[in-house]
Amino acid sequence: MKFGKEFTSQMVPEWAEVYMNYNHLKSILKQILIFRRRRLNNPTVRSPKKGKLLKRHSFYRAFSGLTNRVANYNDRDNDADAEAEVILVSEIQEDPPECQHYQTMFFRSSEEGAENELLFFRRLDDEFNKVLCFYKRKVDEVVLEAQELNKQMDALFALKIKICDPHFHTSSAPSTSGVLPLEEIQEVEMKQEIEQREMVSLDILNHVKMNVRAEYMFDGTKADLSFNKKELKTAQVKLKQAFVEFHRKLWLLKSYSFLNQLAISKIMKKYDKVTSRKASKAYLDMVNNSYLSQSDEVVKLMERVEAAFITHFANANRSQGMSDLRPRAKRDRHRVTFFVGCFFGCSMALVVAVILTIHARDLLRSAGRDQYMINIFPLYSLFVYIVLHMLMYAANIYFWKRFRVNYAFIFGFKPSTELGYKQILLLSSGLLVLTLAAVLSNLEMEMDVKTQRFTTLTELVPLGLVTVLLLIMFCPFNIMYRASRFFLIVSLWHCVCAPFYKVTFPDFFLGDQLTSQVQMLRTVQFYICYYSWGDFKRRSNTCDQSNIYELVYIFIAVIPYWSRFLQCMRQVFEHKDYEPAMNGLKYLSTVVAVVTRTIYVQRRGMSMRIIAASSSGVATIYNTYWDIVKDWGLLCKDSKNPWLRDKLILPNKSVYFVAMVMNVILRLAWMQTVLDFHEAPWVHRSTMIFIVASLEIVRRGLWNFFRLENEHLNNVGKFRAFKSVPLPFSYDDGDT
């Protein structure tokens, strides 16, 4: 793999804009190479005279703006010939002096075609200064965060002493709160500091409150306050997570520094090769003497964090502690790819078998066709909805990874536990095989004379498949991607219990997915009715004859939209921002549209048709606007990409316009209800419902990609590459 591609693949996606623009510098070198090749092929071109070069040199130096000290290089004093020098790199003063800035003087600017080389060094200086300032700013941030973690550890030790040793006297323990200067940190001192901090003063508890249980304030003067070990354990877990995330920040900062230095080295060696000059040593010496290379705060902090983490969170087990701090990268297993291909091959064979069976028995014209479509087809459509949604999600993950959208960070997945698109394809293809096998077995048992007496058993096949699916979903053992299953269950629980939980991105993202699975929820309702009322024994569907069923049919369709509305209201009260309230109105308008359309299907009437069409039209316009403008961030009039946005991930801009048109078209699928397409003789009502529900799932899959792209670009704009871990303790204002 070429370095340019490897460099891009190892970038922190949210920091891509502050890495060296290696490809741009490489393109300038290509222009230099093209000019030099043309020059070699043209013998009439003369080299510049020596006197002209020296004159140009002095002019450039007089107006270069380099007023401060010049970088020192070991071999420059030993160079007798000044003309052998190609560049001179100097540090310039900025006001205010936030970070170092460097500027390169090019001594061969009078040569023919030197404009590209001047441009190269100008861009190289800009890129290096950008990297240097960003690195310095991030190092300052982690140093401050290290101080905060140090105070958190002091409070944790004090709490541990208070709970485990209630008779401890504060006067017998020296206070060691605060942070040692980074310059004095050595391996021996770190061990001594860790040992000393276990004897921390309990006075610190007078100035902090516990976020685990916010209603309690620590007050060492009150003897009636008691703290249990459960709270201590919760605080330890939170602080452990904070240490892991902080170590990850340090690791990425270290990688950022190394990759950019390597990129500079590579591009300068390419410059020397293209121009046959020797300028790389001077520039790389400057890089080696700069803050980017000389700063050791990150390395020292990493050593300190690792030592503290191993001692206090891993029971002094270094291998276990380093395993927690540096989780191994997830590897694709060949057996996953094998089984994906195997399951999809089996699925295709089963599809062919089902089609041939239907055609050979002429089931589409049989007397029991309507009975099968009303009773059995909806039961199996449940699994098709799930499989289709999983396939769309797998496609989303594939394109997110291809275009470097950090979906794992956005969703907050634990490191090395997120599912890739191959794992999603494995699960979906496995479920598809089971579904098609059940459909085929059901058809065979329905038609075979020998098995007609087992008609009740054939009706239980879909219920058995649902039971298997639920057992896998709630299996407590560490099999079948337990971390991802539990993550889904927790997010689903938060959606059900809205607004009692703080709304995070995975919660409202899952809530939006559920709004596109209304028909699946109605199918679940049909399962409950069909099997609990005993209709499966008589092969008759009496659910539609119940008024209670019709009311629940309306209510269950409203649940996902109402849950999202409550989530929006929770965001309004938490963040004091009224934009989620406008989003909540969008879901309320959809609730009205869904209710009126359902009532029209059940009751009919011209007046209800007009009301259903009007409410659905308003909801469609509102939802389409919010999808494209708010969720996708498109239709920006003043953008440099007309009617899109300034930053785009996809190289082909037409894809965004196609997606917007597709979103509008697929949102108009409700029109088949008011136009009574489901009553057409050429298509069964159950088939039309299935097609419309599938189109909504496809629309949601398209929405998912652009929604996460916009979220990723917002993170990129703010350089958010780490999740915020809540700390267990809060200090009073003014205390340090």
The tens digit of pLDDT for each residue in 249-270 reads 999 999 999 999 999 999 999 9
Looking at residue 500, its pLDDT comes to 92
Mean pLDDT estimate for the chain:
81
pLDDT confidence bin for 482, thresholds 50/70/90: very high
Whose structure tokens read 């099968």?
A: 372
Mean pLDDT of 556-572: 95
* Tokens representing residue 6 in the block: 């490897």
Does residue 185 register a pLDDT over 80? no
**Position with higher pLDDT, 664 vs 363:** 664
Contacts of 364-370 with C-beta under 8 Å, sequence gap 24+, read: 368/446, 370/684
pLDDT for 188: 43
Q: Which of 282-286, 329-333, 574-578 has the lowest mean pLDDT?
A: 329-333
Q: What pLDDT is stored for residue 566 in this prediction?
A: 95
Amino acid 70: pLDDT? 38
pLDDT tops 50 at residue 61: no
**pLDDT at residue 73 is higher than 70:** no
For residues 664-684, give the mean pLDDT: 77
Give the distance from CA 143 to its chain's centroid: 26
- 636 SS3 class: strand
Tell me the β-bridge partners of 636.
644
Cα three-residue angle 42-44-48, rounded to 5 degrees: 105
Say whether pLDDT at 701 is over 80.
Answer: yes
Question: In the prediction, which pLDDT does 160 show?
Answer: 78
Residue 587 has pLDDT above 80, yes or no: yes
What are the φ/ψ torsions at residue 733 (nearest 5 degrees)?
-60, 135
| Chain segment 307-361, per-residue pLDDT in tens | 988 988 888 888 888 888 887 767 778 899 999 999 999 999 999 999 998 888 7
| Residue 184 in this model has a pLDDT that exceeds 90 | no
What is the rounded average pLDDT of the residues 615-643?
92
pLDDT at 48: 47
444-469 pLDDT, tens per residue? 776 655 555 556 777 888 999 999 99
Per mean pLDDT, which of 67-76, 146-155, 393-402 is the most reliable?
393-402
Whether pLDDT at 640 is above 80: yes
Averaged pLDDT for residues 102-126: 86
Please give the residue that has the higher pLDDT: either 546 or 28: 28
Q: Which long-range contacts (CB under 8 A, 24 or more apart) does 475-482 make?
A: 481/417, 481/419, 481/423, 481/427
Q: Which DSSP category does 546 fall into?
A: -
Closest CA to 162 of 216, 232, 100, 113: 232
The answer to which of 227-236, 239-248, 651-660, 705-714 has the lowest mean pLDDT is: 227-236
Q: Tell me the mean pLDDT in the region 706-715.
A: 92
Does 66 have pLDDT greater than 90? Answer: no
Q: What is the pLDDT of residue 469?
A: 94
Determine the 3-state secondary structure of 217 from DSSP. Answer: strand
User: Which whole number is the average pLDDT over 376-400?
Assistant: 95
Per-residue pLDDT for 62 more than 70? no
Query: Would you say residue 493 has pLDDT above 70?
Result: yes
**Stated pTM of the model:** 0.81
| Residue 572 C-alpha from the chain's centroid | 23
What percent of the chain stands above pLDDT 70? Answer: 81
At residue 9, does pLDDT exceed 70? yes
pLDDT of residue 330: 72
Q: If pLDDT is split at 50, 70 and 90, which confidence band does 224 have? A: very low
d(CA 559, CA 525): 13
Residue of higher predicted confidence among 328 and 642: 642
Range 623-650 average pLDDT: 91
pLDDT at 519 over 90: yes
Which pLDDT score is estimated for 523? 94
According to DSSP, the β-strands at 87-92 and 101-106 are antiparallel
Mean pLDDT of 291-309: 90
Q: Give the pLDDT of residue 37.
A: 84
pLDDT band at 675 (very low <50, low <70, confident <90, very high): confident
Report pLDDT for 42.
66
Higher pLDDT, 519 or 220: 519
Give the mean model confidence (pLDDT) for residues 229-250.
Answer: 86
Predicted local confidence at residue 581, as pLDDT: 93
Q: How far apart are CA 603 and CA 606, in angstroms?
A: 10
The amino acid that residue 655 corresponds to is: V
Give dist(CA 345, CA 433) in Å, integer. 9
Confidence of residue 13 (pLDDT cuts 50, 70, 90): confident
Q: Largest Cα–Cα distance in the chain?
A: 108
Residue 165 pLDDT grade (very low, low, confident, very high; cuts 50, 70, 90)? low
- Give me the amino acid identity at 547: N
For residues 121-149, average pLDDT: 92
With contact defined as beta carbons under 8 Å apart, do 203 and 220 qualify?
yes
Mean pLDDT of 409-424: 89
| Cβ atoms of 611 and 593 closer than 8 Å | no
